[in-house]
Amino acid sequence: MTRRNINPAAIHFGDDTVVEDIDLAKEEIIVDGERLTDERADEIVADVLAKVRARNRLKLPE
């Protein structure tokens, strides 16, 4: 199986979406009642990518 790399810079959002690069050590972002840390953000990214890859595997022709 080939593994597709997902390039976050290539993801396009709607015109009304605001995406900002932030420093989680300096800014407080709350997710599910807890402060978002770099480590937790990495866990969230890994979980989302795993779900996307699993969904994409289901779409591959047999």
d(C-alpha 44, C-alpha 32), whole Å: 12
- Residue 34 has what DSSP assignment? E
Residue 42 in tokens: 């990495």
Q: Give the residue with greater pLDDT, 16 vs 61.
A: 16
d(C-alpha 54, C-alpha 42), whole Å: 18
Query: What does the pLDDT look like over 33-61, one tens digit per residue?
Result: 999 999 999 999 899 888 988 888 877 66
Is this structure's pTM higher than 0.85? no
Distance of CA 14 to the CA centre of its chain: 16
Query: What does the pLDDT look like over 2-15, one tens digit per residue?
Result: 566 767 777 778 89
Structure confidence at residue 12 (pLDDT): 79
